[in-house]
């Protein structure tokens, strides 16, 4: 079994809570209250800023030039592509870049981003990539599942753009590459003694991802 699949298997309860959270199902059904989605969009933008910092840390932690280039490509993808797409998506919901950047980060946003950065500071590139993987890979899995649900991509669903962005072949390829890179790092640096530590990191990062959905879900209830 590939390393990432082993991580998912060991954290199956946390992974299920994250990838099948009611917030995501409500997006596919088109029933998520708009206030909840707006709150999520703002916090996700703030999260992406910190995510870019984590990839910058990955450049520093990279043991090889190829790993450095991979991390640098991740920074560029976030700053030059994903954040621009996010701004456009936010604009469709009446949220300007100035308003988003002026918003305070929620506790859940701070907890998750600080955990990822702290994990990277304390550990090596493999530990950092494990902490990043629930977001990068999980969004692809979530969106693919949602896109297959009846009506999820219909014109009448206000959340079809978000679903389409992450279900699109381009992002699915990003996630597949992340799986391959994680497995490659594990092949080089994983030892039996480290596996339990990395499973703990993956569980915690996945739990914090679920908390991120829960943050938005609370707005809707």
CATH code of the domain covering residue 73: 1.20.910.10
CA dihedral 197, 199, 203, 204 (to 10 degrees): 20
Q: Which domain holds residue 7?
A: 3-219
Q: Residue 41 and residue 108: Cα distance in Å, rounded?
A: 14
Indicate the number of domains in the chain.
Answer: 1
pLDDT higher than 80, residue 43: yes
Tokens of 154: 């219909």
Burial class (CB in 10 A: 0-12, 13-18, 19+), 102: exposed
The residue whose two tokens read 């304390």 is 122
Q: The tokens of 92 are what? A: 């469709």
Catalytic residue among 14, 141, 204, 209: 209
Band the pLDDT of 218: cuts 50, 70, 90.
confident
Active site residue 209: yes
User: Cα(88)–Cα(102) distance, rounded to whole angstroms?
Assistant: 17
- One DSSP character per residue, 60-93 reads HH-SSHHHHHHHHHHHHIIIIIIHHHHHHHHHHT
Q: Pick the catalytic residue: 14, 135, 141, 204?
A: 135
The reported pLDDT for the residue numbered 41 is: 92
Residue 92 scores a pLDDT above 90: no
Task: Grade residue 85 by pLDDT with cuts at 50, 70 and 90.
Answer: confident
Q: List for the chain the helix, strand, coil content (%; round to 5).
A: 80, 0, 20
Mean of per-residue pLDDT scores for the chain: 93
Query: Which pLDDT tens digit goes with each residue over 161-205?
Result: 999 999 999 999 999 999 999 999 999 999 998 999 999 999 999
- Check if 135 is active-site: yes
The pLDDT of residue 221 is above 80: no
pTM: 0.94
pLDDT for res 160: 95
- In this prediction, residues 122-148 reach a mean pLDDT of 96
Whole-angstrom Cα distance, residue 170 to residue 16? 24
């Amino acid at each position: 079994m590939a390393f990432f699949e082993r991580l998912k298997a060991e954290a199956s309860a946390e992974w299920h809570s994250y990838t099948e959270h009611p917030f995501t199902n409500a997006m596919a059904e088109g029933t998520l209250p708009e206030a909840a989605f707006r709150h999520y969009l703002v916090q996700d933008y703030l999260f992406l800023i910190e995510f870019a910092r984590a990839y910058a840390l990955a450049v520093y932690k990279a043991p090889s030039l190829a790993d450095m280039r991979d991390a640098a490509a991740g920074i560029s993808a976030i700053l030059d592509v994903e954040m621009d797409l996010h701004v456009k998506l936010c604009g469709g919901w009446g949220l300007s870049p100035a308003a988003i950047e002026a918003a305070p980060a929620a506790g859940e946003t701070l907890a998750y981003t600080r955990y990822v950065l702290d994990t990277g500071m304390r550990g090596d590139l493999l530990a950092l990539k494990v902490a990043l993987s629930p977001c990068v890979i999980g969004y692809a899995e979530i969106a693919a599942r949602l896109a297959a649900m009846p009506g999820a991509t219909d014109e009448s669903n206000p959340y079809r753009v978000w679903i389409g962005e992450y279900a699109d072949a381009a992002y699915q390829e990003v996630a597949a590459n992340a799986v391959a890179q994680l497995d490659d790092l594990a092949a080089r640096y994983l030892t039996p003694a480290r596996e339990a530590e990395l499973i703990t990191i993956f569980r915690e990062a996945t739990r914090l991802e679920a908390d991120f959905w829960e943050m938005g879900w609370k707005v809707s209830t």
